[in-house]
Chains A and B, each alone.
Chain A
Amino acid sequence: MRKKVLLMGKSGSGKTSMRAIIFANYIPRDTRRLGATIEVNQTYFKFLGNLVLNLWDCGGQDHFMENYFTLQRENIFKNVEVMVYVFDVESLEIDKDIIYYQRCLESLAQHSPNAKIFVLIHKMDLIHDKYRDDTFNKRKEEISAFSKFLDVKCFKTSIWDETLYRAWSCIVQELVLNSSLLENSLNDFADVSEADEILLFEKTTLLIVSQSLRKENTDLKRFERISNIIKQFKINCNRFDTTFQSIEIKNGNLTVIIDVFTSNTYIMVIVTNPNITPALTIHNIKYAQKHFEHLETSQPQT
């Protein structure tokens, strides 16, 4: 099952860096050596069993952009499942950015009317902390004004913190085939094992694919933070020629177990009940593995 994801935006907005960090295990510092993308860079990424993400990283130079809207219009904008448009928050040519964005929307409406659209206001780390929310809201309003009648989701992102993971987790969750079935199964699993939260991560990107929450938690940014932390840990393990397998943390307040789950996912189980031993939770995880592996491999082919 192939799904086409368009990554568009002006030149230098951060598309290729984003792609490198999420899908190619780059650390933010390493993205400095990435050069300008020439034309379209197509990559295939196997995601969760039989889902293949066909990522089209489109170079943002003016010359290429003109080409996309004219000669290559049908080729680029046909059969698109998701379009991710990246705005550089520090761009001095906001009007020009908006014009390109509108042209993308028009082309998309013509060739892939059912495509989902995500807008990332990128490089937010360059804005001072106290102005960040205001700047983001202002931009979001501007963009919403130009995307009337379309369901566009906006995120503020930066490669230097966990916000990038939040945006891409949402993007990827739109593409997962049987997400509701997966979530229901996770809810059942959380119920029986009496866990407070269960998160399912994709193995390579560490993006959150599904979750089950039984208890309220006030920290809304915890998901992407966890993705970021574990990914960094995994990259560091690889550097020392070892592979990350599992983490088990138990203290007075909670037990956290992160372990390999199916062939494409990691699971994170959080239990706050002090009477439930890690061994019991691990037993339950091993038991549930078979069911979820079966869910993954038996996805409907459409």
Chain B
Amino acid sequence: MLRPSALRQLLSQGTAGTIQATILTTRSGEYLDYVLRNDLQNQSVSSSSLNQSQKNQINVKSLCAIICSVYQSYQKLSHAFADILNYVIIDCDMYRLAIRPVGNHLICICADSNTGLGILKLKINSLADSLSSILNFAIYS
């Protein structure tokens, strides 16, 4: 089981530096929880400036739907080559994404485009390791 406050704390630990968002989602594109770096920075800011940051915020719902769809496509491709897909790193114009499966869920880290790929890989793997004992238990029990 996932205690919401503990999960959020775990996800926010990764959302620092150039990381914009950390998201835990189901395979079908529904997010379980997410942490945006804007939220963490603006926790003590007045409401007027909050509206501004809301406009710059990543649309998490759309992002989830897209990354799940993208991940599934790559997974199908890897099956065709009799290969197992471990994780996907996508280099886009504005962001860099890392997507990794944990049990029946996906973790996604969304970072600035100047983030090092190595740090991205390290973060997604350590996050997956922390969550795997909880999420994998759900399948096998």
**Of B25, B30, B138, the contact of A287 (CB 8 Å cutoff):** B138
Q: Which residues of A are found within 8 Å of B30, using beta-carbon distances?
A: 277, 279
Asked whether A275 and B4 contact (CB < 8 A) given A287-B138, A290-B141, the answer is yes
> Is B63's beta carbon under 8 Å from chain A?
no
State A277–B30 Cα separation when bound (angstroms). 9
> Is A284's beta carbon under 8 Å from chain B?
yes
Asked whether A276 and B4 contact (CB < 8 A) given A287-B138, A290-B141, the answer is yes
> Is B128's beta carbon under 8 Å from chain A?
no
B141–A283 touching, CB < 8 Å:
no
What class of interface size applies to chain B in its complex with A? 10 to 19
Q: Which residues of B are found within 8 Å of A276, using beta-carbon distances?
A: 4, 33
In this complex, how many residues of chain A approach chain B with their Cβ under 8 Å: the count is: 16
State A178–B25 Cα separation when bound (angstroms). 36
Smallest CB gap from A278: residue in B = B30
Q: Which residues of A are found within 8 Å of B1, using beta-carbon distances?
A: 189, 192-193, 283-284, 287-288
Interface SS of B by simple majority = mixed
Interface residues of B in 1-33 (CB under 8 A from A): 1-5, 7-8, 25-26, 30-33
Interface SS of A by simple majority = helix
Contact with B along A211-241 (1 / 0, CB 8 A): 0000000000000000000000000000000
> Is A106's beta carbon under 8 Å from chain B?
no
Contact with A along B22-48 (1 / 0, CB 8 A): 000110001111000000000000000
State A273–B4 Cα separation when bound (angstroms). 10
Asked whether A194 and B4 contact (CB < 8 A) given A279-B26, A287-B138, A290-B141, the answer is yes
From residue A76, how far is it (CB to closest CB) to chain B in Å? Answer: 48
B141–A280 touching, CB < 8 Å:
no
State A276–B25 Cα separation when bound (angstroms). 13
A284–B31 touching, CB < 8 Å:
no
State A288–B2 Cα separation when bound (angstroms). 11
B3–A192 touching, CB < 8 Å:
yes
State A300–B32 Cα separation when bound (angstroms). 37
The 6 closest A-B pairs by CB, nearest first: A279-B30, A280-B32, A276-B4, A287-B1, A284-B1, A194-B4
Residues of A within 8 A of B (CB): 189, 192-194, 273, 275-277, 279-280, 283-284, 286-288, 290
In the assembled complex, 9 residue pairs joining A and B whose CB atoms fall closer than 8 Å, in A order, are A192-B3, A194-B4, A275-B8, A277-B33, A279-B26, A280-B2, A283-B1, A286-B138, A287-B1
Q: Apart from A279-B32, A284-B1, A290-B141, what are 7 other A-B pairs with CB-CB below 8 Å? A: A189-B1, A276-B33, A277-B30, A277-B32, A279-B26, A280-B33, A288-B1
